[in-house]
Amino acid sequence: MLASRWFALGTALALASQAHAEPPLPLLSEPSLPVDATAPEPGSGTTAGTGAAAGPFTLPQAADSGTVRLDAANFPYGVVAPPPEPSGRGWSITPSLGLELLATDNLYQSHTNRRADFVTSVVPGLLLSVDTSRLRGLLNYEPSIEFHVARGEQNRVDQNFNGQVLATVVPDSVFLDIRGAGATQAASGGYAPQGLAVTDRNNRVQTSSVQISPYFVHRFGGLGTVQIGYAFQAVSQDIGGNGIGGGRDDGGFTPNGQRYFSDQDFTAHEFYAVGRTGENFGPLAFQTRLDSTSYDGTGVLDGAYRRIASVEARYAVTRTILALVEGGYEGQRYRGVPGIEISEPVWAVGGRLNFSPDSWITAKYGHHDGFNSATVDAVIGVGGRTQIFANYAERLTTNAQRAVDLLAATTLDEQGNPVDSETGAPTAQPFADSFLGVQSNLFRVRRGAISVSQTWPRDRITLTLSREDRQPVSVEAGTTAFSQRGTSGSLTWSHDLTPATSTVGSVQYGRFNSPGSGRGDVFSASAALVTQLMPRLSAFAQYALTTRGDDYASGRALQNVVLVGLRQTF
């Protein structure tokens, strides 16, 4: 799988481009509204990423008066309303055209079937931003059209896009939020979590997700705010598709012939209502939410649903310490083997430490999705140049659901890359990560990650450690379920040589257990040079080395990749 640019290289290229061009508008810049509303908490352990059920309200701040001030940063789906005054920036449309040339000595990262190949990729692009009094948003669309010289059957079109748009239908009352994302990943797993995953076309899964949500917001003075809305969601996951001139779907099998993935798709209809108290309640804050999502899809999502009703309370013990408690009831159903029916109370207790508006820790322990678990979210600033991000959560979900859940928990930076809507930290898209395999089943997913980033005038260094464990709960008929786990670490260093030229270096190591590769490990190292040749012309060159071993191969597979490219904006 050849992505047009991996995240760190794309970021460096964007920074280099900004040296000669005015950057595009940021997406949905957060308004300062007198509304006591807040954001879903990524990884909150509730029905993540589904409208009002995406998580309890966040960031209550104890003001000097002792009241709990709920931030106006976000409501479900990211934004309550644009600023009341028009920005005057209007529309910005930036088309581009990229050409990428890749050479590799081991196309399939195979120990025994080493095949060299040369790949030409044509990557048209469209960066669309809008910032008016009624419409605000950003779309970054970069499909990759690949042509293989030696292995013509591997020709393919990969759809890569991220977009979010908020429309004001009735000022201060009615809004329409539209979001979408698309990317590819290796179905078998066993590849470096971040970076170039060059592999067989029939081992690639194309994921596309979209969400359309009209909603109504009303504020009752200092008493509180209510939001009522509907969300239409659609996700498709296709393996081996989008081949130029057609192709076949023979992926999703282990070397022993066991099928672990088949094409997935669903549509969902969500209805939700959220009520949040205002500043009149002083140090005490409440949120009540009702949410019902019904699925019409394949496999375990055929006739599935998620329903929850809950009340959460937070109390500002001091300006720094907040206590929280949540109670409610949930119902969930999934079709598979065995069928899953959950109908039971949910609860959570925990607290929050606010060191500053941009530095805090939230921790909870409770019962949801049929099990007890803990949730931790943190962002901590150290000394002005160092930031620490941490997250741990457990949830009951599928690979297809995770794709649409991500839409509600993220916003986009000015280049169209997803970032956490609460912390601003770069967010890895689960449907673009090839470390663990893609399965069609329902899992209990445990995921924890911590990253430390240090920023200097010309350098940025990021160290990331992550661990994910997936335990199958219900299996799609006709497939086999596998437990998966993976632990990985990466170190990335970008350095600005000049205002127009940057270098990016990265090393990664991970140990995995995936359905398509069994147990194994992977090491990857890469170095890249990114430069601005002219105000609208960028160039980059990258070398990457990957070595991996697993249960299904004797010895280790070594792959060398050289990638060069040009991108012209218009």
Q: What are the pLDDT digits (tens) for 497-511? A: 999 999 999 999 999
Three-state SS for 112? coil
Whether the CB-CB separation of 324 and 348 falls below 8 Å is answered with: yes
List Cα–Cα distances, 49 to 68, 296, 401, 407, 411, in angstroms: 25, 18, 9, 7, 12
Residue 369 has pLDDT above 60, yes or no: yes
* Confidence at residue 446, expressed as pLDDT on a 0 to 100 scale: 96
Please tell me which of 250-259, 408-417, 466-475 the model is most confident about, judged by mean pLDDT.
Answer: 466-475
* Confidence at residue 267, expressed as pLDDT on a 0 to 100 scale: 97
**Of 8 and 496, the one with more pLDDT:** 496
Burial 353-390 (b: 16+ CB within 10 A, else e): ebeeeeebebbbebbbbbeebbbbbbbbeeeeeebbbb
List Cα–Cα distances, 145 to 52, 79, 562, in angstroms: 38, 34, 18
Cross-strand bridge partners of residue 354: 360
CA angle 53, 58, 61 (to 5 degrees): 160
pLDDT band of 367, cuts 50, 70, 90: very high
Average pLDDT over residues 254-278: 89
Cross-strand bridge partners of residue 548: 522, 557
Three-state SS for 568? strand
Cα gap 527→529, rounded to integer Å:
7
**What are 402-453's pLDDT values in tens digits?**
998 888 888 887 777 787 777 667 777 888 888 998 999 999 999 999 999 9
* Confidence at residue 107, expressed as pLDDT on a 0 to 100 scale: 87
**What are 188-247's pLDDT values in tens digits?**
888 887 766 677 788 889 999 999 999 999 999 889 999 999 999 999 999 876 655 444
Residue 150 has pLDDT above 60, yes or no: yes
Whether the CB-CB separation of 215 and 228 falls below 8 Å is answered with: yes
Cα gap 334→130, rounded to integer Å:
40
Omega before 338 within 30 of 0, i.e. cis: yes
The residues near 103 (Cβ < 8 Å, ≥ 6 apart) are: 116, 117, 118, 119, 561, 562, 563
* Confidence at residue 45, expressed as pLDDT on a 0 to 100 scale: 31
pLDDT band of 517, cuts 50, 70, 90: confident
* Confidence at residue 431, expressed as pLDDT on a 0 to 100 scale: 84
Sequence spans of domains, the chain? 7-80+100-569
Residue with tokens 């088949």: 262
Cα gap 291→309, rounded to integer Å:
7
Residue 305 has pLDDT above 50, yes or no: yes
* Confidence at residue 25, expressed as pLDDT on a 0 to 100 scale: 29
**Of 19 and 234, the one with more pLDDT:** 234
**Of 406 and 68, the one with more pLDDT:** 406
CA-closest candidate to residue 224, choices 181, 274, 260 = 274
Over pLDDT 70: what percentage of the chain?
81
* Confidence at residue 9, expressed as pLDDT on a 0 to 100 scale: 52
The residues near 451 (Cβ < 8 Å, ≥ 6 apart) are: 388, 389, 390, 425, 462, 463, 464, 465
The residues near 499 (Cβ < 8 Å, ≥ 6 apart) are: 19
* Confidence at residue 40, expressed as pLDDT on a 0 to 100 scale: 30
Residue 296 has pLDDT above 80, yes or no: yes
Which of the four CATH numbers 3.40.50, 2.40.170, 3.30.750, 2.20.28 does domain 7-80+100-569 have? 2.40.170
List Cα–Cα distances, 470 to 98, 193, 442, in angstroms: 37, 16, 9
Over pLDDT 90: what percentage of the chain?
59
**Of 61 and 354, the one with more pLDDT:** 354
Residue 478 has pLDDT above 90, yes or no: no
Average pLDDT over residues 9-31: 36
How many residues are recorded in the chain?
570
* Confidence at residue 242, expressed as pLDDT on a 0 to 100 scale: 64
Cα gap 299→321, rounded to integer Å:
45
Ranges 14-23, 156-165, 304-313: which has the least confidence = 14-23
* Confidence at residue 394, expressed as pLDDT on a 0 to 100 scale: 96
**Of 300 and 248, the one with more pLDDT:** 300
DSSP 44-92: -SSSTTSGGGG-----EEE-TTS-EEE-SS--TTS-S---SS--S-EEE
Q: How many CB atoms lie within 10 A of CB 490?
A: 21
Cα gap 505→489, rounded to integer Å:
14
Mean pLDDT score of the chain? 82
Whether the CB-CB separation of 58 and 71 falls below 8 Å is answered with: yes
Residue 66 has pLDDT above 60, yes or no: no
* Confidence at residue 243, expressed as pLDDT on a 0 to 100 scale: 59
Average pLDDT over residues 64-76: 34
